[in-house]
Amino acid sequence: MDRSKIYEVYGSDPGVMTRALLEAVRPEQEIPPGGLVVLKPNLAVSKPAESGATTHPGIVGETIRYLREKGVDRMVILESSWIGDQTREAFRVCGYETVAQFYGVPLVDVKKDAYETKTVNGISIQISRTALEADYLINFPVLKGHCQTKMTCALKNMKGCISDRSKREFHSLGLHRPIAALNKALPCHLTVVDGLCGDLDFEEGGTPVAANRMYCGWDPVLLDAYGASLLGYQPQEIPYISMAAELGCGCCDLEQMSLMELNHSEQGSAAVSSRRVRRLERLVHASSACSACYAALIHALARLEDKELLGRLGEQLYIGQDYRGKALDQVGIGSCCGNFTRCVAGCPPKASDIVEALEEELE
């Protein structure tokens, strides 16, 4: 296991993408014989994955199928929806009841589980006993925006393993310190990120942006640092990432990351555009753009809008494979626009690089 490695795959079939990632990381080699595997998706709300809020059930379903083929028998799907939502309803609406019945895998509602209290850095957390009993915990977060912490992905998804009482306390403590503490108290073994169409702004979805990407690795801190860059943030802008690194949960230095791309970004189906996405799209000239590239640009424009810089962007931005070899006097996004007078390189570029380049343009 090399914790600096992140495996990434593009596409629109969650099952095929999940299998490609699992075949690359071979989790079965790390699971003790007869060990309990806990599968932890993000079902914070009762909305289907297409909303940008929840983990696609095909990802967890394919993981169960894969592990069964490798002789792993003891698996549970474990989650707790956010306060005010019923986990049972989320299991049903998000397709997990069907997955559980099809594969004969139990669903564990953390709200009804027993808890053990763990204390890290003076923060006491009631953690699901089933999650603590896991011999191997696989975290399946959605990479998406969050109105309080800017983003949510691997580290924050572990919050679904605690009691509602502890969730309330997390909010009263400002989320960042307790999220880092939780990941020290309950480390996951592997993280498989659903980056298919995570929400631009909100944990509860409604503004999905199709990126048609999934990635996985062993270090949740590094995965979140990478996720931040895909949403247009520098990792240090999300305090819980560096706090988790300081507690020894992983590395937040993207220079240390080895990104292993299993295939190439491709054109894919677009998510339904919300009003905000449509407003941002007005600045874009896209022609045969790959989904991950296009999503990076939309996230970057959203970051500029957050900083009230968008109005100063006086020109259109060009993106897509049809601009390959063309020498326009415009700003191009992605290596396909490499012959433009100004270009943000990368295939696909990271949203954080686009933000940085466009901010320089505006200086």
Query: Which residues are paired to 125 by β-bridges?
Result: 118
Closest distance between ligand SF4 and the C-beta of residue 334, in Å? 3
Tell which residue, 186, 183, 181, has the closest CA to residue 122: 181
Closest distance between ligand SF4 and the C-beta of residue 351, in Å? 12
- State the Cα–Cα distance between residues 62 and 194, nearest whole angstrom: 13
- State the Cα–Cα distance between residues 245 and 236, nearest whole angstrom: 11
Q: Which of 14, 57, 178, 348 binds ligand SF4 (CB under 6 A)?
A: 348
Interface with ligand SF4 in residues 271-290 (CB under 6 A): 289-290
* 274-282 contacts at long range (C-beta below 8 A, 24 or more positions apart): 274/200, 274/206, 274/207, 274/208, 276/200, 276/201, 276/207, 276/302, 277/200, 277/207, 277/209, 280/305, 280/310
Task: Order across the sheet with 317-319: list the strands.
Answer: 284-286, 317-319, 331-333, 342-344
Closest distance between ligand SF4 and the C-beta of residue 265, in Å? 4
Kindly write down the DSSP assignment for every residue of 112-138, as one continuous string.
GS-EEEEEETTEEEEEEHHHHH-SEEE
- Residue 314 gets which letter from DSSP? -
Q: Which is nearer to ligand SF4, 208 or 334 (CB)?
A: 334
Task: Determine if 265 is a binding residue for ligand SF4 (CB under 6 A).
Answer: yes
Q: Which of 320, 342, 351, 358 binds ligand SF4 (CB under 6 A)?
A: 320
Nearest-5° angle of CA 22, CA 134, CA 63? 25
> Are the C-beta atoms of 214 and 262 separated by less than 8 Å?
no
Task: Determine if 293 is a binding residue for ligand SF4 (CB under 6 A).
Answer: yes
Task: Determine if 334 is a binding residue for ligand SF4 (CB under 6 A).
Answer: yes
Tell which residue, 45, 359, 360, 84, has the closest CA to residue 202: 45
Task: Determine if 332 is a binding residue for ligand SF4 (CB under 6 A).
Answer: no
Closest distance between ligand SF4 and the C-beta of residue 162, in Å? 38
Closest distance between ligand SF4 and the C-beta of residue 321, in Å? 5
- For residue 3, give the amino acid letter: R
Task: Determine if 242 is a binding residue for ligand SF4 (CB under 6 A).
Answer: no
Binding window for ligand SF4 (CB under 6 A); candidates: 81-89, 135-143, 301-309, 328-336: 328-336
Closest distance between ligand SF4 and the C-beta of residue 66, in Å? 28
Exposed / middle / buried, residue 191 (Cβ in 10 Å: 0-12, 13-18, 19+): buried
Q: Which is nearer to ligand SF4, 27 or 348 (CB)?
A: 348
Q: Which is nearer to ligand SF4, 123 or 292 (CB)?
A: 292
Query: Which residues are paired to 216 by β-bridges?
Result: 7, 192
Q: Which is nearer to ligand SF4, 76 or 336 (CB)?
A: 336
Q: Which of 24, 132, 284, 347 binds ligand SF4 (CB under 6 A)?
A: 347
Closest distance between ligand SF4 and the C-beta of residue 305, in Å? 22
Cα first-last separation, the chain: 44
Q: Which of 247, 335, 356, 361 binds ligand SF4 (CB under 6 A)?
A: 335
Q: Which of 4, 234, 321, 330 binds ligand SF4 (CB under 6 A)?
A: 321
Q: What residues make contact with ligand SF4 under the rule CB under 6 A?
A: 265, 289-290, 292-293, 320-321, 334-336, 347-348
